[in-house]
Copies of this chain bind each other. A is one copy, B any other.
Amino acid sequence: MKLQTIIPDHERLFLDKDVPEAYKTDHSWKDVAAVKAVALPELEQEIIDLVTYANQEDLTIIARGAGTGVAGSQVPTKGGEVIIDVHRMNRILDLDEETMTLTVEPGVKLQEIQEFVERKGYFYPPDPGSKNSTIGGNIATNAGGMRAVKYGTTRDYVRELDVVLPDGQKATLGSLNIKDSSGYDLKDLFIGSEGTLGITTRIKLKVLPMPKYKQSVILAFDSLKAATNGVLSILKNGVEPAALELFERGTIEYSEKFTEKKLPSQKGDAYILMTLDSNEQEDLSRRVSFTENLLKGQAAEILPLSTPEEEEKAWFLRDHILVALMQFTEFEMLDEVVPINRFAEMISYTKELQEKHGINVINFGHAGDGNIHTVLMKEGMDEAAWQTKRKAYLDDLYSKVHELGGLPSAEHGIGVIKKGYLEKMSQPVEIQLMRKVKRAIDPDNRLNPGKVF
Protein backbone atom coordinates (compact mmCIF):
# COMPACT_ATOMS: atom_id res chain seq x y z
CA MET A 1 0.00 0.00 0.00
CA LYS A 2 1.15 3.56 -0.64
CA LEU A 3 0.44 6.67 1.40
CA GLN A 4 -1.37 8.10 -1.63
CA THR A 5 -3.76 5.15 -1.55
CA ILE A 6 -4.58 5.71 2.10
CA ILE A 7 -5.00 9.48 1.77
CA PRO A 8 -6.08 9.90 -1.86
CA ASP A 9 -6.85 13.59 -1.51
CA HIS A 10 -3.66 15.47 -2.34
CA GLU A 11 -4.42 18.46 -0.14
CA ARG A 12 -4.44 16.09 2.83
CA LEU A 13 -1.00 14.63 2.20
CA PHE A 14 2.40 16.34 2.10
CA LEU A 15 5.51 14.37 1.19
CA ASP A 16 9.19 15.05 1.92
CA LYS A 17 10.14 18.51 0.66
CA ASP A 18 6.53 19.60 0.36
CA VAL A 19 5.95 19.34 4.09
CA PRO A 20 5.12 22.83 5.42
CA GLU A 21 7.72 24.23 7.85
CA ALA A 22 5.09 24.58 10.58
CA TYR A 23 5.14 20.82 11.13
CA LYS A 24 8.77 20.90 12.17
CA THR A 25 8.16 22.96 15.27
CA ASP A 26 5.76 23.78 18.06
CA HIS A 27 5.71 26.83 20.32
CA SER A 28 8.98 25.83 21.92
CA TRP A 29 11.30 23.65 19.94
CA LYS A 30 13.35 24.33 16.85
CA ASP A 31 16.08 21.74 16.59
CA VAL A 32 14.14 19.35 14.43
CA ALA A 33 14.55 16.86 11.63
CA ALA A 34 12.98 16.46 8.18
CA VAL A 35 9.84 14.35 8.13
CA LYS A 36 8.84 11.83 5.52
CA ALA A 37 5.21 12.81 5.29
CA VAL A 38 2.34 14.66 6.88
CA ALA A 39 -1.10 13.09 6.56
CA LEU A 40 -4.36 14.76 7.53
CA PRO A 41 -6.88 11.96 8.04
CA GLU A 42 -10.59 12.60 8.25
CA LEU A 43 -11.60 9.11 9.32
CA GLU A 44 -10.52 6.69 12.01
CA GLN A 45 -9.98 4.03 9.33
CA GLU A 46 -7.41 6.28 7.65
CA ILE A 47 -5.48 6.46 10.94
CA ILE A 48 -5.61 2.66 11.26
CA ASP A 49 -4.32 2.35 7.68
CA LEU A 50 -1.55 4.90 8.30
CA VAL A 51 -0.36 3.05 11.40
CA THR A 52 -0.53 -0.27 9.56
CA TYR A 53 1.50 1.26 6.73
CA ALA A 54 4.08 2.55 9.23
CA ASN A 55 4.38 -0.97 10.65
CA GLN A 56 4.93 -2.44 7.19
CA GLU A 57 7.53 0.18 6.28
CA ASP A 58 9.05 0.38 9.79
CA LEU A 59 8.41 4.12 10.12
CA THR A 60 7.72 6.08 13.27
CA ILE A 61 4.60 8.18 13.79
CA ILE A 62 3.85 11.42 15.60
CA ALA A 63 0.24 12.42 16.15
CA ARG A 64 -0.35 16.15 16.22
CA GLY A 65 -3.26 18.48 16.95
CA ALA A 66 -3.16 22.27 16.74
CA GLY A 67 0.60 22.49 17.25
CA THR A 68 0.18 24.73 20.30
CA GLY A 69 2.40 22.53 22.48
CA VAL A 70 5.24 24.12 24.40
CA ALA A 71 7.28 21.09 25.43
CA GLY A 72 8.40 19.72 22.07
CA SER A 73 6.01 16.79 22.49
CA GLN A 74 4.97 16.63 18.84
CA VAL A 75 8.09 17.72 16.99
CA PRO A 76 10.05 15.36 14.75
CA THR A 77 13.50 14.81 16.24
CA LYS A 78 14.84 11.75 14.44
CA GLY A 79 14.00 12.36 10.79
CA GLY A 80 11.84 10.24 8.51
CA GLU A 81 8.72 10.34 10.70
CA VAL A 82 5.14 10.31 9.45
CA ILE A 83 3.13 13.04 11.15
CA ILE A 84 -0.58 12.39 11.56
CA ASP A 85 -2.28 15.75 11.92
CA VAL A 86 -5.80 15.16 13.28
CA HIS A 87 -7.07 18.71 13.00
CA ARG A 88 -9.50 17.82 10.22
CA MET A 89 -11.15 15.27 12.50
CA ASN A 90 -13.01 18.11 14.14
CA ARG A 91 -16.62 17.09 14.47
CA ILE A 92 -18.73 17.34 17.58
CA LEU A 93 -20.65 14.10 17.22
CA ASP A 94 -23.23 13.98 20.00
CA LEU A 95 -24.42 15.48 23.27
CA ASP A 96 -26.19 12.83 25.32
CA GLU A 97 -28.14 14.72 27.95
CA GLU A 98 -29.17 11.57 29.82
CA THR A 99 -25.60 10.64 30.70
CA MET A 100 -24.29 14.22 30.29
CA THR A 101 -21.68 13.06 27.82
CA LEU A 102 -20.28 14.89 24.81
CA THR A 103 -18.76 12.80 22.01
CA VAL A 104 -16.10 14.54 19.91
CA GLU A 105 -13.31 13.85 17.49
CA PRO A 106 -9.73 14.65 18.62
CA GLY A 107 -9.24 17.69 16.39
CA VAL A 108 -12.08 19.75 17.94
CA LYS A 109 -10.73 22.87 19.58
CA LEU A 110 -11.25 23.48 23.26
CA GLN A 111 -13.03 26.75 22.58
CA GLU A 112 -15.54 25.07 20.25
CA ILE A 113 -16.31 22.49 22.93
CA GLN A 114 -16.84 25.16 25.56
CA GLU A 115 -19.05 27.28 23.32
CA PHE A 116 -21.06 24.29 22.09
CA VAL A 117 -21.93 22.97 25.55
CA GLU A 118 -22.56 26.45 26.97
CA ARG A 119 -25.19 27.09 24.32
CA LYS A 120 -27.00 24.00 25.62
CA GLY A 121 -26.72 25.02 29.29
CA TYR A 122 -23.79 22.78 30.12
CA PHE A 123 -20.26 23.36 31.27
CA TYR A 124 -16.93 21.73 30.32
CA PRO A 125 -14.65 22.81 33.19
CA PRO A 126 -11.05 22.20 31.99
CA ASP A 127 -9.83 25.58 30.77
CA PRO A 128 -6.22 25.74 29.57
CA GLY A 129 -5.10 29.23 28.51
CA SER A 130 -4.71 28.11 24.90
CA LYS A 131 -8.30 27.89 23.67
CA ASN A 132 -7.00 26.94 20.22
CA SER A 133 -5.50 23.71 21.48
CA THR A 134 -7.34 20.54 20.42
CA ILE A 135 -9.05 18.16 22.81
CA GLY A 136 -6.75 15.40 21.53
CA GLY A 137 -3.77 17.48 22.62
CA ASN A 138 -5.41 18.30 25.95
CA ILE A 139 -5.75 14.56 26.59
CA ALA A 140 -2.18 13.85 25.51
CA THR A 141 -0.86 16.20 28.22
CA ASN A 142 -3.69 15.97 30.76
CA ALA A 143 -4.12 19.72 30.32
CA GLY A 144 -5.19 21.66 33.37
CA GLY A 145 -5.75 25.39 33.16
CA MET A 146 -7.70 27.86 35.20
CA ARG A 147 -10.44 25.88 36.88
CA ALA A 148 -8.51 22.86 38.16
CA VAL A 149 -8.56 24.25 41.72
CA LYS A 150 -12.26 23.39 41.95
CA TYR A 151 -12.97 21.11 39.01
CA GLY A 152 -9.82 19.05 38.33
CA THR A 153 -7.96 18.51 35.06
CA THR A 154 -8.77 17.01 31.67
CA ARG A 155 -8.30 13.50 33.12
CA ASP A 156 -11.33 14.02 35.34
CA TYR A 157 -13.61 14.70 32.34
CA VAL A 158 -12.65 11.86 30.00
CA ARG A 159 -15.10 9.00 30.28
CA GLU A 160 -14.10 6.98 27.24
CA LEU A 161 -11.33 7.06 24.65
CA ASP A 162 -11.09 5.30 21.31
CA VAL A 163 -7.45 4.82 20.43
CA VAL A 164 -5.45 3.27 17.64
CA LEU A 165 -2.64 1.24 19.19
CA PRO A 166 0.96 1.10 17.87
CA ASP A 167 0.20 -2.12 15.97
CA GLY A 168 -2.85 -0.61 14.25
CA GLN A 169 -5.48 -2.30 16.41
CA LYS A 170 -8.32 -0.21 17.74
CA ALA A 171 -9.30 -0.20 21.44
CA THR A 172 -11.97 1.53 23.49
CA LEU A 173 -10.74 2.48 26.97
CA GLY A 174 -13.03 3.52 29.81
CA SER A 175 -16.83 3.65 29.62
CA LEU A 176 -19.86 5.69 30.60
CA ASN A 177 -20.09 3.87 33.91
CA ILE A 178 -19.54 6.03 36.99
CA LYS A 179 -17.86 3.22 38.93
CA ASP A 180 -15.36 0.73 37.58
CA SER A 181 -13.57 -2.12 39.31
CA SER A 182 -13.30 -4.26 36.18
CA GLY A 183 -9.65 -4.68 35.26
CA TYR A 184 -6.76 -2.24 34.86
CA ASP A 185 -7.38 1.47 34.41
CA LEU A 186 -5.96 1.70 30.89
CA LYS A 187 -7.80 4.93 30.15
CA ASP A 188 -5.84 6.89 32.75
CA LEU A 189 -2.61 5.28 31.59
CA PHE A 190 -3.16 6.64 28.09
CA ILE A 191 -4.24 10.12 29.25
CA GLY A 192 -1.11 12.24 29.68
CA SER A 193 1.11 9.79 27.77
CA GLU A 194 1.88 12.43 25.12
CA GLY A 195 1.04 10.27 22.13
CA THR A 196 3.54 7.55 23.02
CA LEU A 197 1.01 4.74 23.60
CA GLY A 198 -1.81 5.34 21.13
CA ILE A 199 -3.57 7.83 18.87
CA THR A 200 -6.91 9.10 20.10
CA THR A 201 -9.66 8.97 17.49
CA ARG A 202 -12.83 9.67 19.48
CA ILE A 203 -13.54 10.92 22.99
CA LYS A 204 -16.54 10.88 25.29
CA LEU A 205 -16.32 13.77 27.72
CA LYS A 206 -18.26 14.38 30.89
CA VAL A 207 -20.05 17.74 31.05
CA LEU A 208 -21.69 19.40 34.06
CA PRO A 209 -24.75 21.60 34.44
CA MET A 210 -23.65 25.23 34.09
CA PRO A 211 -23.51 26.88 37.53
CA LYS A 212 -26.25 29.49 37.65
CA TYR A 213 -24.24 32.41 38.99
CA LYS A 214 -20.66 33.50 38.85
CA GLN A 215 -18.66 36.49 39.96
CA SER A 216 -15.05 37.43 39.29
CA VAL A 217 -12.97 39.56 41.61
CA ILE A 218 -9.62 41.24 41.02
CA LEU A 219 -7.38 41.67 44.06
CA ALA A 220 -4.33 43.92 43.65
CA PHE A 221 -1.32 43.59 45.98
CA ASP A 222 1.76 45.72 46.53
CA SER A 223 4.11 42.78 46.17
CA LEU A 224 4.23 39.27 44.80
CA LYS A 225 4.74 38.04 48.35
CA ALA A 226 1.57 39.76 49.56
CA ALA A 227 -0.32 38.21 46.64
CA THR A 228 0.89 34.67 47.46
CA ASN A 229 -0.17 35.22 51.07
CA GLY A 230 -3.55 36.26 49.74
CA VAL A 231 -3.79 33.01 47.78
CA LEU A 232 -3.19 30.94 50.90
CA SER A 233 -5.77 32.93 52.90
CA ILE A 234 -8.37 32.32 50.21
CA LEU A 235 -7.65 28.59 50.07
CA LYS A 236 -7.57 28.08 53.83
CA ASN A 237 -10.74 29.97 54.67
CA GLY A 238 -13.31 28.13 52.59
CA VAL A 239 -13.86 30.74 49.83
CA GLU A 240 -13.91 27.81 47.34
CA PRO A 241 -12.86 29.61 44.17
CA ALA A 242 -13.63 28.01 40.80
CA ALA A 243 -10.54 29.76 39.40
CA LEU A 244 -7.68 31.38 41.28
CA GLU A 245 -5.07 32.97 39.03
CA LEU A 246 -2.06 34.99 40.06
CA PHE A 247 0.03 37.23 37.80
CA GLU A 248 2.69 39.84 38.18
CA ARG A 249 2.11 43.31 36.70
CA GLY A 250 5.05 42.55 34.41
CA THR A 251 3.14 39.75 32.68
CA ILE A 252 -0.20 41.50 32.31
CA GLU A 253 1.49 44.53 30.77
CA TYR A 254 2.37 42.44 27.72
CA SER A 255 -1.24 41.40 27.47
CA GLU A 256 -2.49 44.98 27.90
CA LYS A 257 -0.24 46.08 25.07
CA PHE A 258 -1.31 43.20 22.82
CA THR A 259 -5.05 43.45 23.46
CA GLU A 260 -5.13 47.25 23.78
CA LYS A 261 -7.28 46.83 26.89
CA LYS A 262 -6.56 47.78 30.49
CA LEU A 263 -6.93 45.58 33.53
CA PRO A 264 -9.67 47.14 35.74
CA SER A 265 -7.13 47.52 38.54
CA GLN A 266 -3.91 49.40 37.84
CA LYS A 267 -2.63 49.46 41.42
CA GLY A 268 0.08 47.25 42.83
CA ASP A 269 2.65 44.81 41.57
CA ALA A 270 0.79 41.52 41.53
CA TYR A 271 -2.81 40.43 41.11
CA ILE A 272 -5.19 37.66 41.96
CA LEU A 273 -8.00 37.13 39.47
CA MET A 274 -10.56 34.88 41.01
CA THR A 275 -13.94 33.50 39.94
CA LEU A 276 -16.52 32.15 42.35
CA ASP A 277 -19.51 30.19 41.09
CA SER A 278 -22.68 28.92 42.71
CA ASN A 279 -26.26 27.91 42.06
CA GLU A 280 -27.43 30.42 44.70
CA GLN A 281 -27.01 34.16 44.26
CA GLU A 282 -27.01 34.69 48.03
CA ASP A 283 -24.29 32.15 48.58
CA LEU A 284 -22.19 33.89 45.95
CA SER A 285 -22.68 37.36 47.42
CA ARG A 286 -21.86 36.06 50.89
CA ARG A 287 -18.59 34.56 49.67
CA VAL A 288 -17.61 37.76 47.82
CA SER A 289 -18.21 39.86 50.97
CA PHE A 290 -16.37 37.31 53.05
CA THR A 291 -13.37 37.57 50.73
CA GLU A 292 -13.44 41.37 50.89
CA ASN A 293 -13.40 41.27 54.69
CA LEU A 294 -10.77 38.58 54.78
CA LEU A 295 -8.29 40.44 52.58
CA LYS A 296 -9.05 44.13 53.06
CA GLY A 297 -5.98 44.57 55.28
CA GLN A 298 -3.68 42.76 52.86
CA ALA A 299 -4.78 43.91 49.41
CA ALA A 300 -4.13 47.31 47.84
CA GLU A 301 -7.46 47.08 46.05
CA ILE A 302 -10.33 44.60 45.84
CA LEU A 303 -12.62 44.94 42.82
CA PRO A 304 -15.61 42.66 42.34
CA LEU A 305 -16.24 42.89 38.60
CA SER A 306 -19.81 44.05 38.30
CA THR A 307 -20.67 43.51 34.64
CA PRO A 308 -20.19 40.54 32.28
CA GLU A 309 -18.17 42.86 30.01
CA GLU A 310 -15.70 43.70 32.76
CA GLU A 311 -15.37 40.04 33.70
CA GLU A 312 -14.81 39.08 30.12
CA LYS A 313 -12.18 41.78 29.68
CA ALA A 314 -10.24 40.70 32.76
CA TRP A 315 -10.21 37.06 31.68
CA PHE A 316 -9.41 38.01 28.07
CA LEU A 317 -6.32 39.81 29.37
CA ARG A 318 -5.34 36.80 31.48
CA ASP A 319 -5.86 34.40 28.58
CA HIS A 320 -3.67 36.48 26.26
CA ILE A 321 -0.54 36.66 28.40
CA LEU A 322 1.16 33.88 26.49
CA VAL A 323 0.18 35.10 23.02
CA ALA A 324 1.31 38.61 23.94
CA LEU A 325 4.67 37.37 25.18
CA MET A 326 5.10 35.51 21.90
CA GLN A 327 4.28 38.65 19.97
CA PHE A 328 6.62 41.04 21.74
CA THR A 329 9.57 39.17 23.19
CA GLU A 330 11.68 36.05 23.40
CA PHE A 331 11.29 33.87 26.44
CA GLU A 332 10.93 30.38 27.84
CA MET A 333 7.83 29.49 29.82
CA LEU A 334 7.86 26.75 32.45
CA ASP A 335 4.97 24.97 34.13
CA GLU A 336 6.39 23.65 37.36
CA VAL A 337 4.04 22.57 40.14
CA VAL A 338 4.54 22.15 43.90
CA PRO A 339 2.25 21.08 46.73
CA ILE A 340 0.06 24.03 47.62
CA ASN A 341 1.73 24.70 50.98
CA ARG A 342 5.07 25.26 49.20
CA PHE A 343 3.72 27.62 46.55
CA ALA A 344 4.84 30.88 48.19
CA GLU A 345 8.31 29.50 48.83
CA MET A 346 8.64 28.32 45.23
CA ILE A 347 7.52 31.55 43.64
CA SER A 348 9.82 33.62 45.82
CA TYR A 349 12.73 31.34 44.89
CA THR A 350 12.18 32.08 41.18
CA LYS A 351 12.95 35.72 42.06
CA GLU A 352 16.06 34.85 44.09
CA LEU A 353 17.41 32.98 41.07
CA GLN A 354 16.77 36.06 38.92
CA GLU A 355 19.50 37.89 40.79
CA LYS A 356 21.80 34.89 40.94
CA HIS A 357 21.73 34.06 37.24
CA GLY A 358 21.06 37.44 35.68
CA ILE A 359 17.87 36.43 33.89
CA ASN A 360 14.74 38.49 34.33
CA VAL A 361 11.81 36.42 35.43
CA ILE A 362 8.09 37.09 35.60
CA ASN A 363 5.48 34.72 36.95
CA PHE A 364 1.89 33.97 36.31
CA GLY A 365 -0.03 30.83 36.98
CA HIS A 366 -2.73 28.78 38.53
CA ALA A 367 -2.12 29.70 42.13
CA GLY A 368 -4.90 27.53 43.50
CA ASP A 369 -3.13 24.43 42.18
CA GLY A 370 0.47 25.28 43.11
CA ASN A 371 1.15 25.49 39.36
CA ILE A 372 3.43 28.38 38.34
CA HIS A 373 4.28 29.58 34.87
CA THR A 374 7.71 31.05 35.43
CA VAL A 375 8.78 33.00 32.34
CA LEU A 376 12.51 33.36 31.73
CA MET A 377 13.06 36.45 29.58
CA LYS A 378 15.65 36.06 26.86
CA GLU A 379 15.08 39.66 25.74
CA GLY A 380 18.16 40.84 23.82
CA MET A 381 20.55 38.20 25.20
CA ASP A 382 22.82 36.52 22.64
CA GLU A 383 22.15 32.83 22.07
CA ALA A 384 25.28 31.43 23.71
CA ALA A 385 24.90 33.48 26.90
CA TRP A 386 21.20 32.60 27.00
CA GLN A 387 21.83 28.86 26.72
CA THR A 388 24.39 28.94 29.54
CA LYS A 389 22.36 31.11 31.89
CA ARG A 390 19.12 29.34 31.08
CA LYS A 391 20.60 25.95 31.90
CA ALA A 392 22.09 27.16 35.17
CA TYR A 393 18.77 28.74 36.11
CA LEU A 394 16.75 25.63 35.27
CA ASP A 395 19.14 23.33 37.13
CA ASP A 396 18.64 25.38 40.27
CA LEU A 397 14.92 25.82 39.75
CA TYR A 398 14.09 22.15 39.19
CA SER A 399 16.27 21.11 42.12
CA LYS A 400 14.15 23.35 44.30
CA VAL A 401 10.93 22.03 42.76
CA HIS A 402 12.11 18.51 43.57
CA GLU A 403 13.13 19.46 47.10
CA LEU A 404 9.64 20.85 47.69
CA GLY A 405 7.97 17.66 46.42
CA GLY A 406 6.99 19.19 43.08
CA LEU A 407 7.01 18.05 39.48
CA PRO A 408 8.60 19.49 36.33
CA SER A 409 5.32 19.69 34.42
CA ALA A 410 1.81 20.41 35.67
CA GLU A 411 0.03 20.57 32.35
CA HIS A 412 2.29 21.07 29.30
CA GLY A 413 3.94 17.68 29.29
CA ILE A 414 7.56 16.58 29.31
CA GLY A 415 8.12 16.30 25.54
CA VAL A 416 11.79 16.58 24.69
CA ILE A 417 12.41 19.77 26.67
CA LYS A 418 11.96 18.43 30.19
CA LYS A 419 13.10 14.81 29.70
CA GLY A 420 16.38 15.30 31.52
CA TYR A 421 14.69 17.01 34.42
CA LEU A 422 11.96 14.39 34.73
CA GLU A 423 14.65 11.74 34.93
CA LYS A 424 16.62 13.67 37.55
CA MET A 425 13.52 14.34 39.64
CA SER A 426 12.14 10.79 39.52
CA GLN A 427 13.30 7.63 41.25
CA PRO A 428 15.03 5.34 38.71
CA VAL A 429 12.44 2.67 39.46
CA GLU A 430 9.65 4.97 38.32
CA ILE A 431 11.28 5.67 34.96
CA GLN A 432 11.98 1.94 34.62
CA LEU A 433 8.28 1.21 35.16
CA MET A 434 7.31 3.75 32.49
CA ARG A 435 9.80 2.23 30.06
CA LYS A 436 8.48 -1.26 30.77
CA VAL A 437 4.92 -0.15 30.09
CA LYS A 438 5.96 1.65 26.90
CA ARG A 439 7.86 -1.41 25.64
CA ALA A 440 4.96 -3.70 26.46
CA ILE A 441 2.45 -1.63 24.50
CA ASP A 442 4.77 -0.30 21.78
CA PRO A 443 7.63 -2.81 21.45
CA ASP A 444 8.87 -1.29 18.18
CA ASN A 445 8.90 2.24 19.62
CA ARG A 446 6.60 3.20 16.78
CA LEU A 447 4.68 6.09 18.37
CA ASN A 448 6.36 9.39 19.18
CA PRO A 449 9.74 7.92 20.09
CA GLY A 450 12.22 9.84 22.21
CA LYS A 451 9.60 11.77 24.14
CA VAL A 452 8.86 11.87 27.91
CA PHE A 453 11.66 9.51 29.09
Contact = CB atoms under 8 A, between A and B. Distances in A.
A4 interface: no
A4 B321 CA distance: 64
Contacts of A142: 179-181, 185
Interface string A323-340: 000000000000101111
A436 B442 CA distance: 10
Contact of A170 (B188, B189, B407, B429): B429
Most buried by B among A181, A192, A368: A181
A199 B142 CA distance: 27
A69 to B, nearest CB: 11
B429 A171 contact: yes
Contact of A181 (B173, B177, B192, B340): B192
User: How many copies of this protein are present in the complex?
Assistant: 2
A98 interface: yes
Nearest to A401: B177
Interface string A419-440: 0001001110111011011111
Interface in A146-190: 148-149, 153, 155, 165, 169-173, 175-186, 188-189
A441 B430 contact: no
Given A181-B141, A452-B183, A436 B441 contact: yes
A450 interface: no
Most buried by B among A142, A176, A177, A368: A177
B340 A422 contact: no
Nearest to A96: B341
Nearest to A441: B436
B430 A179 contact: no
B176 A153 contact: no
A144 B182 contact: no
Interface residues of A, number: 79
Given A238-B279, A339-B177, A437-B440, A183 B153 contact: no
Most buried by B among A169, A176, A411: A176
Given A188-B189, A280-B280, A430-B183, A337 B177 contact: yes
20 contacts: A144-B181, A165-B433, A169-B429, A171-B427, A171-B430, A176-B339, A177-B339, A177-B406, A179-B366, A179-B370, A179-B410, A181-B335, A182-B418, A185-B191, A185-B193, A186-B433, A436-B441, A437-B437, A437-B440, A440-B440
Given A142-B185, A280-B283, A439-B440, 16 more contacts: A98-B341, A169-B429, A170-B429, A181-B192, A182-B425, A183-B414, A183-B430, A184-B189, A184-B192, A184-B437, A185-B192, A186-B434, A238-B279, A283-B283, A436-B441, A437-B441
